[in-house]
Amino acid sequence: MEFSGVLVGLGNPGPSYEGTRHNCGFALVESLLRTVSRDGGDAQEVSGGKFSCRLWRLRSPLLGGVWLAAMPQTYMNLSGQCVQPLLAWHKVSPDRLLVAHDELDIPPGELRFKLGGGNAGHNGLKSITQQLGTPDFYRLRIGIGRPPVRGDVSNWVLGRPASDEQTRIDDALDRALKVVFAFADKGLDAAVRACKPPKEKKEKADKGSTITA
């Protein structure tokens, strides 16, 4: 079967990591599964054991075809040991891979979308890049911000957000679904535009409008 794309949400497996900042990618996959099932699509869990992941096959008009969605069970810093064999087995090239992950350099509640680039110290991205032999895959970056105390990154990413911060992240995850659907439908430029919050889109539209007498 030919797949239109593969979404990999990054995180760490196990109850002790649920709800942590580092598990934003897992949260997005879970939200996608609920949305596809609710809106008349099909989200079927299939065996991902040989790839060390939980794996689903998705059919939905929202995705414009058949996709795979995966949550690696390798722990974050070994994510590539899941992603590389998953893509190789299903004959999917890296340019059809979308990785959703937490991003320290983006404030909570904000999203960014890009193709390729560096890893910014993210061990999950580093592992995937090394195993694939290329950085040229798509990334949906979910902002979690940096810790207030410099050098406390490990405790920060493995910690759970405060309630107001969690609200902003939840809002971003809702928009992230629209980004995934925009990417599946129209590609990179549409996904980049969909990352912008509604207020920012409106302000730009207002600035671009002209009034004539």
Catalogue the active-site residues: 22
Determine the Cα angle at 24 with ends 19 and 28, to 5°. 110
Residue from 140, 137, 106, 107 nearest 28 by CA: 140
Q: Characterize the bridge pairing of strands 42-46 and 53-60.
A: antiparallel
Question: Contact 125/116 with Cβ under 8 angstroms?
Answer: no
Q: Which residues pair with 57 in a beta bridge?
A: 44, 68
Identify the residue whose tokens are 């794996």. 55
**Beta-bridge partner residues of 68:** 6, 57
Instruction: Please give the C-alpha separations between residue 189 and each of 2, 12, 197, in angstroms, as whole numbers.
Output: 24, 30, 15
Residue 4 contacts residue 65 (beta carbons within 8 Å): yes
Tracing tokens 């911000």 back to the chain, one arrives at 145
